[in-house]
């Protein structure tokens, strides 16, 4: 039982890290090609709005 919990926690932490890395990458790409908010909205990433 404890192993399962630990494993789930590990996966969750990894997922968070990947999400953060991906988010940073998207932000960098968005900044480098100067994507405006309407384009990001069209791509379906409304969560990025809070970054601008």
pLDDT value at residue 34: 62
pLDDT value at residue 41: 62
For residue 32, give Cα distances in angstroms to 23, 26, 29. 14, 10, 5
pLDDT value at residue 3: 80
Residue 19 belongs to domain spanning? 2-51
Q: Do the Cβ atoms of 20 and 28 come closer than 8 Å?
A: no
If one counts the domains in the chain, the total is: 1
Q: What is the pLDDT along the chain (52 residues), one digit of tens a residue?
A: 688 888 888 788 887 888 888 888 888 877 776 656 656 666 665 555 555 5
Name, in order, each residue with C-beta under 8 angstroms of 51's C-beta and a sequence gap of 6 or more.
27
């Amino acid at each position: 039982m404890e192993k399962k919990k630990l494993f789930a926690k590990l996966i969750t932490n990894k997922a968070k890290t990947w999400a953060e890395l991906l988010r940073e990458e998207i932000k960098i790409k968005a900044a480098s090609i100067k994507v405006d908010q309407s384009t990001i909205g069209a791509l379906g990433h409304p969560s990025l709005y809070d970054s601008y």
